[in-house]
Structure 1
Amino acid sequence: MTSRVLLISPAMNAALRQARFDDGSPLDSAGTARARSAADALPAADRTLTSPTVRCRETASALGLDATDSPSLNGLDMGRWRGRTLDDVSTAEPDGMARWLTDPQAAPHGGESVHELCLRVAHWLDGTAQLSGRTVAVVEPEIVRAATLRVLGAPESAFWRLDVPPLTATEFSGRAGRWNVGLGSRLGAA
């Protein structure tokens, strides 16, 4: 049995443009248009899921997907940093920001650590590997990072070394617990 998982990162929104931790901002008009232009580029899916965030739901809708919210695919809980810019947090809490970027167990924002996120995503991916066919999911970039680490057996310390641009697809395919990875295919017009 072969399982395929296609993870699509959300299109552009104000939070991404401003280097701000997600605050529930909707897609901007350019992000919506780009996602709509990519709708025909997606393969058929047996299951379609989405992170239950505004930008992922809106991206899924613009792509023409009738996706179901999956709490296991929710983005990283940023606690009290939610909605703040990276510059603001780096200035106000330089030690906390440095710990968060270097220690996967750290959660100085009071939310979820990278380690906790990686465990949650690994559990979801292991369950999905038991399903035949293709799962397409629109997910936050950190979900793509965590899944990639799991598939490659890479350490959590590599989490921040993976760039996940907006509206890109990362595909995992495999059987018997062995995955192959197709990284960062752009969807829609550049």
Structure 2
Amino acid sequence: MTSRVMLISPAISAALREARFDDGCPLDPAGLRRARAAAGTLPAWERAWSSPTARCRETAEALGLDAATGPELAGLDAGRWRGATLAEVSAAEPAALAEWLSDPGSAPHGGESVRTLCDRVAAWLETAAGTSGRTIAVVEPEVSRAAIVRALGAPDQSLWRTDVPPLTAVELSGRSGRWNVTVGHPLGGAAH
């Protein structure tokens, strides 16, 4: 059985624009406009999911998806770094940030490691592989990155070497253990 999974990154928000660890902020007005403009451009789907974050739920709604939320699709738990910019963390905890970026098993912020994120997303993909038809999920960029890493069998530390711009889709097709990946096409010509 061939399964199809389309992972859509959320529209722009202040946290994404400022390179800030997610703090639950909503989409900004420009992001909401772009998401609404892309509504109606998605292929037919059987299931719709969303990360529980505000910007993913709002993007899903703007795209016209009646999406269920799933904790397994949550963005990476950044622990005490939540709401801080990368520059702020780099200034305050340079060694901890360097460790976190280089060691996928590390979680110096008290949250979740990259490896744990990749394992969680891989488990969700295994479940999706057991279903026929298309699943669409609006997820944080790091969730799409984790799916790409695991689908390709790449090392977990390669998560940081993949860019996932706002309102773009990563598509996986195949079955458990063998995925083909299409990355980075914008939804409905949405500008970034």
Q: Would the TM-score normalized by the shorter structure come out above 0.5?
A: yes
- Quick one: distance in 2 between partners of 1:136 and 1:40? 13
- Quick one: distance in 2 between partners of 1:115 and 1:176? 19
Q: Which SS does the other structure have where 1:32 is aligned?
A: helix
Residue 19 of structure 2 aligns with an amino acid whose one-letter code is A
Paired position in structure 2 for 1:100: 100
Deviation of 1:176 after TM superposition, in Å, equals 5.8
Percent identical across equivalent pairs?
Answer: 67
Gaps of 5+ in 1: none
Deviation of 1:27 after TM superposition, in Å, equals 0.2
Paired position in structure 1 for 2:116: 116
Deviation of 1:175 after TM superposition, in Å, equals 3.3
Deviation of 1:174 after TM superposition, in Å, equals 0.8
Q: TM-score, normalised by structure 1?
A: 0.98
1:144 paired with 2:139, answer no
Paired position in structure 2 for 1:9: 9
1:181 paired with 2:181, answer yes
- String of CA shifts for 1:130-158, please: whole Å, max 9, x gaps: 10000000000010011101110001011
CA RMSD after TM alignment: 0.8
Deviation of 1:61 after TM superposition, in Å, equals 0.5
Paired position in structure 2 for 1:55: 55
- String of CA shifts for 1:36-56, please: whole Å, max 9, x gaps: 111111011100000000000
- Quick one: distance in 2 between partners of 1:22 and 1:7? 18
Q: Which SS does the other structure have where 1:40 is aligned?
A: coil
Alignment check: 8 A CA contact 2:126 2:176 kept: no
Q: Which SS does the other structure have where 1:101 is aligned?
A: helix
Q: TM-score, normalised by structure 2?
A: 0.97
- Quick one: distance in 2 between partners of 1:156 and 1:134? 26
Deviation of 1:184 after TM superposition, in Å, equals 0.6
- Quick one: distance in 1 between partners of 2:173 and 2:141? 19
- String of CA shifts for 1:23-44, please: whole Å, max 9, x gaps: 0110001100000111111011
Deviation of 1:177 after TM superposition, in Å, equals 3.3
- Quick one: distance in 2 between partners of 1:170 and 1:101? 23
Number of residue pairs matched by the alignment:
190
